[in-house]
Structure 1
Amino acid sequence: MDNGGRSVAAVTLKDVAARSGVSIKTVSNVVRGAPRVSEATRERVMSAVRELGYRPNPSARRLRTGRSGLIALAVPDLATPYFAELAQHVRAEAAALGLTVLIEETLGDATEELRLATGVGAALLDGAILSPLRVSLDELASAANEFPLVLLGERSYERDRIAADHVLIDNVAAAREATAHLAGLGRTRIAAIGVKPRSSATSGQRLEGFQRALHEAGLTFDPRLVPLVQEFARRDGLLAMRALTELPDGVRPDAVFCFSDLLAAGAQRALYEAGLSVPGDVAVASIDGSEEGLYGTPSLTSVVPDKGVIAALAVKCLAARIGAAAPLPFEVHIAPHRLAARESTDGAGLRV
């Protein structure tokens, strides 16, 4: 029951319109994620939706609009804390618009990424939010206009060759801030864990930010302090850090910037095995801002992407594309991030 004694199932667009003081058409536009609705109006309508517990009738909607209200979120690895946390935010944002999220794990398989990017084999899907690793530009460009699609992550696509919104953080800036933080602590031999032997947009951008910060701090880039990894996984961070601890005195790092929190978790384990303290002997910083890093011992200094904003932008963009009467221009949206300094660099207590 809602506050007026009406069952949730009986709440209609008319009820939401009356509560928020707008027209039924405006409520419909907000719920569908249609563009050209002011943010103030959108917030007022969504507040009424939450208060009344309004939920669209999916069967009636499909008969009326030809849409199911079902969207997909496709990520490489659900075991990665970053993607698991992002999925929670996407689900919440979608639910507020009356959308249901089907969560898919691609494992970085190009065929699976393309299937979900084009809606092939998923006739009930209205659109997809995809974090691609392997699918090629040409494959996406040939199909993106046929199916509502929003991309996440750092893959670089030319604006005139693909019609899809793209939501990401500024990885170069994020890596630069993390590395500059380490240099600002007086660390002079800063290693980087996360460079891959094959091309990777995320890895390349974070390496660029790392090198920029070294240059700005007057430090020299030393390739011996940049061991290669195959994946952004705990084991890769462990093996890379073990190799770094075996370097001779004068070369062995006094700080390390890891390209993900999972790499940092492995690196901190290797430092523990080597009898080195964090941050006393080696300071550690990362990117991801996952809860795993927040509650580790020591808590991990990390660049925290605003996952709530990333999810909100992605869902809003996808809903607008699904509800658009004509094709919308492709846009790139940069989500904010912040550096959270914790025990692994400054020795201070846990700060959430």
Structure 2
Amino acid sequence: MRHRLKDVAERAGVSVKTVSNVVNGYQHVRPTTRTRVEQAIAELNYRPNLSARNLRKGRTGVIALAVPELDIPYFAELARHVVTTAAELGWTVLIDQTGGGPERERAAAAGIGDHLIDGLIFSPLALTAEDLTGLDGTPMVLLGERVDHGPADHVGIDNVTAAREVTAHLIGLGHRRIAAIGAQGTAEGASARLRLAGYAAALADAGITYDERLVAPAPAWHRADGAAAMRHLLDTGVRPDAVFCFNDTLALGALRALHEAGLRVPADVAVAGFDDIEDGRFSIPTLTTIAPDKARIAKLAVELLANRIAGDRQAPPKELTAPHYLTPRESTTPPPTPT
């Protein structure tokens, strides 16, 4: 049996309005009264009717998270953090996979459906700042690198610095022929351009000449693309002694190709990735990576969206940067040999 506010009020000996004030966190309630109401809530196992509350406020209690691909583990793991954080606010999260296509992204940016969602956390690939400017109605927070300093709040990480750090890590271990896997020349490849820039900057810092033969493109950032790019590098005859892959799924594919070629990681070729997906903690060897703080990204995005939904619609868009961490593992620094 689902109890109502009226039932709690009768158990506590107070008015329905007083119970409502306690449930909604209003401060002007006597401590003794609040204690009686909270005790009645616990005894009856009362749960607020969030749907009714949202309808009274003209809201659905549903937000959306729109990402290009759920096959990329980074987005799946990020989605988990968004769902967890949103649940603390009583929100349900609708997850949409756009495929990075303009039509699906426009549908997401327009709010997915009339009055279906209260707000959107959106990682676009195809749409530009101009495409998103002038959209009216649905509060939005942007993720990723395709659109920053644009028409909506944005949460990202410092991709250039992160790529520079992981490349410097490889250089610090003595590697000089460091390949990069994941370059993309398309307009959608904003993350690739930033990570390539960080890679090139680290080489320059160390006085190492940038060699285009060591930069392998990848049309997508899947395991198969990483394996194909690694095989291409090996076939060129300019064998690297280390590889920086622009995400962890590319790195997992590269590990497979190196294993098939009879090369040891990291003894023959060191491998590093980016994203700190869970698979990399269980691969053989475990994968050195850049770990974006996905929980922090989700928290910042949900908090920004909550502020916009609450009515803060006119304030200028905010640019927030979440932290990242270099996480060395066995693919670059093997554990010491037991004595």
Q: TM-score, normalised by structure 2?
A: 0.85
Match of 1:40 in 2: none
2:144 equivalent in structure 1: 153
1:13-66: CA deviations, max 9, x gaps? 644577xx9458xxxxxxxxxxxxxxxxxxxxxxxxxxx998652332233210
1:212-240 Cα deviation digits (max 9, x unpaired): 00011111110000011101111110011
The aligned counterpart of 2:13 is: none
Distance 1:109 1:273 in 2: 35
Q: Could you say if the C-alpha distance between residues 324 and 277 of structure 1 is closer, same or farther in structure 2, counting changes exceeding 3 Å?
A: same
Partners of 1:220 and 1:193 lie apart in 2 by 17
Provide the secondary structure at the position in 1 that maps to 2:332. Answer: helix
- How big is the shift at 1:307? 0.5
Count of matched residue pairs: 311
Name the amino acid aligned to 2:252: A
| Matched AA of 2:54 | R
Alpha-carbon shift at residue 340 of structure 1 (Å): 0.6
Whether the 8 Å CA contact 2:128–2:147 is kept in 1: the answer is no
Structure 2 portions without partners, runs of 5+: 10-18, 30-43
Where 1:142 maps in the other structure, the secondary structure is coil
Partners of 1:264 and 1:322 in 2: CA distance: 39
* Partner Cα distance (2:217, 2:313) in 1: 46
Give the Cα–Cα distance (whole angstroms) in 2 for the partners of residues 311 and 224 of structure 1: 37
TM-score normalised according to structure 1 size: 0.82
Is this contact kept in 2: 1:197–1:229, CA < 8 A? no
Preserved contact between residue 157 and residue 321 of structure 2 (Cα < 8 Å): yes
Partners of 1:61 and 1:68 within 8 A in 2:
no
- Equivalent position to 1:281, from 245, 268, 273: 268
SS at match of 2:309: helix
5+ residue gaps, structure 1, are 1-5, 25-51
Any idea what SS the aligned residue of 1:209 has?
helix
Q: Shift of residue 294 of structure 1?
A: 1.0
Distance 2:311 2:67 in 1: 25
Q: Structure 2 counterpart of 1:172, which letter?
A: V
Q: Give SS of 1:191's match.
A: strand
The question of whether the paired residues in 2 share the 8 Å contact of 1:242 and 1:270 is answered with yes
Describe the shift of the 1:228–1:157 C-alpha distance in structure 2 as closer, same or farther (beyond 3 A).
Answer: same
Partner of 1:234: 223
Q: 1:217 aligns with which of 183, 190, 206?
A: 206
Deviant stretches of 4+, over 3 Å:
9-18, 21-24, 52-56, 156-159
Matches within 5 A, 1:227-266: 227-248=216-237, 251-266=238-253
- Output the CA distance in 2 between the equivalents of 1:322 and 1:134: 25
Question: What is the CA–CA distance in structure 2 between the aligned matches of 1:177 and 1:215, rounded to whole Å?
Answer: 13
Q: Which residue number corresponds to residue 102 of structure 1?
A: 94
Change (3 A) 1:120 1:307: closer
Give the structure with higher Rg (CA): 2
Q: Is the 8 A contact 1:255 1:284 kept in 2?
A: yes
Q: Distance in 2 between matches of 1:15 and 1:269?
A: 58
Q: Structure 1 CA distance, aligned partners of 2:204 and 2:297? A: 30
